[in-house]
A = this chain, B = another copy of it.
Amino acid sequence: MQKNFSANTLEYETLLEQFKKILKKNALKFTLQREMILKALYDSDGHLTPEALHRLIQERHPDIKVGIATVYRTLSLLEDSDIVTSLSFGAQGKKYELGTKEHHDHMICTECGEITEFVDEEIEKRQEKIAQEHGFLMKDHSMQIYGLCQNCQKNNQ
């Protein structure tokens, strides 16, 4: 599968180390399941529902059982640790993606749900400036553009 263009900033090994560190710090354990889930998220293009992630892992490791509950549990854990973020647009359910990618924004097709990522330096800078103007200390931001992707524009005509 094609890796998303918004390349992960971190090598997998680094990410794994980060995860392990957080686990240790909180007296939690590093398990095979947790690693498999992290790896699957890393390798995919993100935007996976818990169900889809579970399915993906089962396909990759038919020999090892991973319960759906563990997927949910691990996703919350990863979200609490700021390693993944969740988002949901339009009709489909909540999706998860690695939060360690280089920052990016989303363009969402309201028809088919396709999500495209993009980064625009100009907007990034401008946001910082707006925050400053309002005496606001910016910690994070998110932006979404809604509309119709090329395909759905055609199909709707």
Residue pairs across A and B with Cβ atoms less than 8 A apart, 17 shown, are A85-B110, A86-B88, A86-B90, A87-B90, A88-B94, A120-B130, A122-B122, A123-B123, A134-B150, A135-B150, A136-B147, A136-B148, A137-B148, A140-B145, A140-B146, A141-B143, A141-B146
7 tightest A-B CB contacts, nearest first? A135-B150, A143-B143, A138-B147, A139-B147, A137-B148, A140-B146, A88-B88
Known contacts: A86-B90, A90-B86, A144-B87. The answer to whether A118 contacts B139 by CB under 8 A is: no
A107 contacts across to B, CB distance below 8 A: 130-131, 134, 136
The interface of chain A, by Cβ under 8 A from chain B, is 79, 82, 85-91, 93-94, 107, 109-110, 116, 118, 120, 122-123, 126-127, 130-131, 134-150, 153
CA distance A100 to B82 in the complex (A): 33
CA distance A157 to B49 in the complex (A): 32
Known contacts: A118-B134, A140-B147, A143-B143. The answer to whether A87 contacts B89 by CB under 8 A is: yes
Closest to A151 in B: B135
